[in-house]
Amino acid sequence: MNIESYDYIEYLPTRDCNKKYNLYLLYLTRPKNSSKNYSVKIDVFNQVTLTYRASWIFSIQFAFLSVYRLPVLLKMPVSIMQSIGKHCWPSCIHGQCLSYINNQNLTCCHCESGWSGVQCHIKHTCDCALGSLCISNSICLCPTGRFGHRCHLTQLSCQSQPCLNDGQCILEDIRYRHPNHNRSMCICRQGYAGNRCEYRQNQTEIDFSFDDLETIPSFLLIHLILVEENAQPKRTSLMKKIQFDESSTKILTSVIFHMAFAQILNNYYLIIVRENAIIFEQISAKLISPYRCQSIVELFDEIFSNQHLLK
């Protein structure tokens, strides 16, 4: 696989949610080689740990056009993509065989650092800065705080450690930064807020126990419902990752709510329901069968459960 051109974005959900990006990828030769099949591949990495997350591939459907617009909406999977073994053809020599998020029938080789090519069989000298990741002989993935073609340049905005209470300083991509925004921002740990994480929040703590579950889930969804007069109920959903050796976990939230549900796959569990809104409280929850919310198909026959909701 030859890389014609590439670009990148630095995405942070708390900062960039609903933001749209416009990228322009150019053909290496003009006019383009009409005998080639072109496609756009998108790889996602965690910039803090430099770990690989997922890949998408999109084909150029109308090759006869000189310009092709490709609008995509990416949904990040909760878990990291896992190797599917030796199912790639041709096989991966120095890499892992993975499938694409948007097409499970297509596979690709995710190469180890210092290797490239369709089979990860082409060795190249990595001249990226120490602590960076070599994607190919021309692409370096820089860690947080570094930038430049080979990641040798250092961002200075976070060196003064502006974030308090163990907050993490994150730099904004200068190419997409609003003129009125600071070059850096603080990601606060749970329980703190403010531009520098200087304020301690009054939060509700919910403790979860998994002792009665046969299998501990890899993640947990928590739905918080706020009921207001003359308005639709407001739902706020939170996700919590569960480590493989954890039998309990907790979340902290400043969201005001009346009802709370926990979701594991397609199963829902009632955590709490109150007439008065919960603003600041400590709640203990056990995910056990008596608290599981039965589906309508379990409560009624097939004819009734298939009726329209308004009936």
The pairing of beta strand 204-209 with beta strand 282-286:
parallel
- Residue 206 CA to residue 260 CA, distance in Å, equals 10
**Domains of the chain with bracketed CATH:** 1-136 (no CATH), 155-201 (2.10.25.10), 204-297 (2.60.40)
Identity of the residue numbered 177: R
**What single string gives the DSSP state of each residue in 74-133?**
----SSPP----S--SSPPSSEEEEE-SS-TT-EEEEEPTTEESTTS-EE----SPTT-E
pLDDT of residue 310: 60
For residue 217, cis peptide bond before it (omega within 30 degrees of 0): no
How much is the pTM? 0.68
- Residue 48 CA to residue 67 CA, distance in Å, equals 35
What Rg value do the Cα atoms of the chain yield, rounded? 24
pLDDT of residue 84: 75
Residue 229: CB atoms within 10 Å: 4
pLDDT of residue 182: 67
Tens digit of each residue's pLDDT, the chain (311 residues): 678 899 999 888 777 877 888 999 998 888 888 888 899 999 999 988 898 999 999 999 887 888 899 999 988 887 777 777 667 877 888 888 988 999 888 888 888 878 888 888 888 888 899 999 988 878 899 988 888 889 998 888 787 888 999 998 888 777 766 666 667 888 888 778 888 888 887 788 899 988 777 788 888 999 999 998 888 899 999 988 888 778 888 888 888 899 999 998 888 999 999 999 888 888 998 888 888 888 887 888 777 777 776 65
**What single string gives the DSSP state of each residue in the chain?**
------------HHHHTT---------SSSS--TTS--EEEEEEE-TTT--EEEEEEEE-S-TT-SS----------SSPP----S--SSPPSSEEEEE-SS-TT-EEEEEPTTEESTTS-EE----SPTT-EESSSS-EEPPTTEESTTS-EE--TTTT----TT-EEEEPPTTT--TTS-SEEEEPPTTEESTTS-EE---EEEEEE-TT-SS--SEEEEEEEE--TTSPPEEEEEEEE--TT-SEEEEEE---EEEEEEEETTEEEEEEEEEEEESS-EEEEE--GGGEEPPHHHHS-HHHHTS-TT-
